[in-house]
Amino acid sequence: MSEARLHAREAQLQHGHSNSPADHDHDGHEHTHDDHEHGHSHGLVHKSIKRSREGVRAVLVSLGVLGVAAVAQTVVFVLSGSVALLADLIHNFGDALTAVPLGIAFLMRSERAERGAGLFVVGAIFISACVAGVEAIQRLIHQSPPTHLWVLAAAGAIGYLGNFIAAKVRKRAGHRLNSPALIADGNHAAADAYVSLAVIASAVVVALGAPIADPLIGLAITVVILRITWQSWNTVRGHDHHHG
């Protein structure tokens, strides 16, 4: 072993290299560090393709999850006629649709398109809040209490689970890819998960004999959605401002 080292040192001296172990170790470290850096960057084009694929994957997975949840909730809404569920359902469909411009932006690999998608996300949330609010007010004037309460509560649970999973997928990818549009979409899906719990509350209060509470919970959901709209707007606008 020592003989091999001796030969190595002699070779270093012949090539004009330092025979200092410290220098040798440092050079080895430098080489490893460069390899590590290279492993992470892969050059600009490859990085952009990788980001595009990851973004599209996150969008498609969350779209699939929300789509399944929304379809299941539609069936339950037809059976129960609950405005609290309708408010949640409208938003879930709107939530699923925001995936379309986001997916296109990632395919285009355009930061500008991504910012535009972020603004579309905010617009979609605001529209769903308005529709849900109008529907809740109409049901408040012309009351028709929901039926199939156990099924209604199950639909709320479906909405919660769907949004919870979609939020995790979007936020994780959004932070990893530094995408404000994906983060904003993930944040409002996370809030929607808790909004879906209001549907379960609606089923409970109607079962307890207070049907007036159903449209009131629908209005409460509207207020929450409006708050999410404001938060999402600040996220997207704040990022734009930060980047000039």
Under the banding of pLDDT at 50, 70 and 90, the label for residue 26 is very low
Best-predicted range by mean pLDDT among 17-21, 45-49, 171-175? 171-175
**Distance, CA of 236 to CA of 119 (rounded, Å):** 7
Q: Which residue, among 220, 85, 217, has the nearest Cα to 148 in the 3D structure?
A: 85
Q: Quick one: pLDDT at residue 11?
A: 54
**Res. 146: pLDDT tops 80:** no
Classify the phi-psi angles of 109: left when phi > 0, otherwise alpha if psi is within -120 to 50, otherwise beta. left
pLDDT digits (tens, 9 = 90+) for 229-241: 898 888 888 755 4
pTM above 0.75, yes or no: no
Q: Quick one: pLDDT at residue 25?
A: 46
Q: Thinking of the domain 44-242, which architecture would CATH place it in?
A: Up-down Bundle (1.20)
Task: Give the start-to-end residue ranges of the domains of the chain.
Answer: 2-37, 44-242
CA atoms within 13 A on the CB side of 232: 32
Q: Quick one: pLDDT at residue 192?
A: 79
pLDDT digits (tens, 9 = 90+) for 77-136: 888 777 777 777 776 777 677 778 888 999 998 888 988 988 888 887 788 788 888 888
Other CB atoms within 10 A of residue 177 CB = 17
